[in-house]
Amino acid sequence: MPAPRGRERAAASALRSFAASRWPDVDWTVQPYGTDGANLVAVRGSGPLLYSHLDTSLDGGPLDALVTGRSGPVGALSVVDGVASGFGLGVARAPAAAALVAFASAGAGTLLLAGSGTHRRGSGTTGIEAYLAENPLPPCAIVAKSGPPAVLWAEPGALYLTVTVHGRQGVVLAPASAVPVGGVLAQAGVVLAALDAWRQEFVSSCPPGEIARAAGVGAVHAGWPDKPDLLPAALEIGLYVVTVDGDDPAALAEQVRSRVAVACAGSPLRDCPVSVDLDVVHAPAQTSPDAPIVRSACAAWASEFGAPPDPVAGWTGSTDGVVLRGRGADTVRLGPTVTPTGDDPRRESVPLDALESFVRIYRRLLDGP
C-alpha cells in the first residue's frame, strides 16, 4: 500500500489492524495529525523509543516517473531464496518491519512508526513533532533506518534552497520578446555551472569528522510542459544541502545567490535578478558516543555480528533523529543495509536474515541489559 508523505492515515490504519490481529496483547494506536497524516504508536511501559516511519521517499504514483523514469507497475513484494524485494524497503519499510516485530516481542519501551519522516520542501508538521507535542520526551531513542554497517550517533542538518532567475516572458515565434533573448531556460547552463562550482567548494571545505556536507541540484522548473511555445519568465532550480555544525543557513543562501548573480552578470542573463528561498529542515545534532544508549547499541551490534560496528566518518544522511537529539534525547541510528534490485530503481532488496538480526538488536535495546 502506498503511503505518500503526509497521507499515511490509510496505511497506519491498515497496519494497526494487522498488528492488532497478530499481537492482540499490545494496544496499537493510530495518532492522526494534519489533514491526512498519522502515526502508529504502541507502548509497553517505560523504556526507549524505537522509531521509524511509514512514508517512503517516492509516493508510488505517476509523478514518481519524473524521478525514476519508470511509469509501469512496480510490482508486489516478493521473497525469493531468503531475500525480500519490493518498493520502499530502504526508506523505510524494511527497518520499520524489523522494529515492529522487535517491539511486539519486547517487554518495554515505545514504538513510533511516524508519518512525514522523509524530507520535503515546505514540509509542515512531521509525525515525530506531532508525537512529541502530545507525549513526554523519551529517555533515549533508537532510529530504525537502513544505512551503513555502523551505529550512528551524529547526523548532519538539512535544508532546501530554491534559486530563481527572473526574466521576462515571451513566445518562441518571437525570441526577442523575452528577456534574455530566447528566454531564461535557454541559459539554464549558466546557472547550473555556477551552482556546481559553489557545490564543489562547499563540500571540499568541510572539516573532517563523523558527519559531512553534501549538496546537489535535484529539480529544475520553468514554463508549462504542455505549452512549450511560451518562453517562461522565471527559471527555478531546487537544491538539497546537508550541513554540519557552524554552517549558517541564511549565509549559505546568500553565498548561493551571490555566486549565481555574478555568473548571470557575465552572461545573457545580465538583466535578470536572482533570488534564493531558504527552507531549513533540520539543524545538525549529535549524541555523546559515551551515552548509555550508544554503548548499548555498539555492544548489541558486536554480540549479534561478532565484531564491533564500523567506525563512522563523513556521514551525510539526515533523519528525524536530529529532532530527538535537538530536544535532548540521546539517540542512535542503526539498521539493515538495503540494496537496489536489478535495473528498476523503485525496487530494493534485503536478506531476511539481516532483518532478523536487527529484530534481535532492537529487542535487546528495548529490554535493556
**Rounded CA Rg of the chain:** 23
Tell me the pLDDT band of 123, cut-offs 50, 70 and 90.
low
Long-range contacts of 167-176 (CB under 8 A, 24+ apart): 167/232, 167/233, 167/234, 167/235, 167/269, 167/271, 167/272, 168/233, 169/230, 169/231, 169/232, 169/233, 170/230, 170/231, 171/229, 171/230, 171/231, 172/228, 172/229, 172/230, 172/231, 173/229, 175/231
Domains of the chain (ranges plus CATH)? 9-155+284-367 (3.40.630.10), 157-282 (3.30.70.360)
The string of pLDDT tens digits covering residues 310-335 is 998 999 988 888 889 989 999 999 99
Containing H/E element for 331?
Answer: strand 330-334
pLDDT at 67: 74
Q: Calculate what percentage of the chain has a pLDDT beyond 90.
A: 74
pTM for the model: 0.90
- pLDDT the model gives residue 1: 61
pLDDT of res. 369: 64
**pLDDT value at position 158?**
94
Asked if residue 340 has pLDDT above 70, the reply is: yes
Q: 7 or 201: whose pLDDT is higher?
A: 201
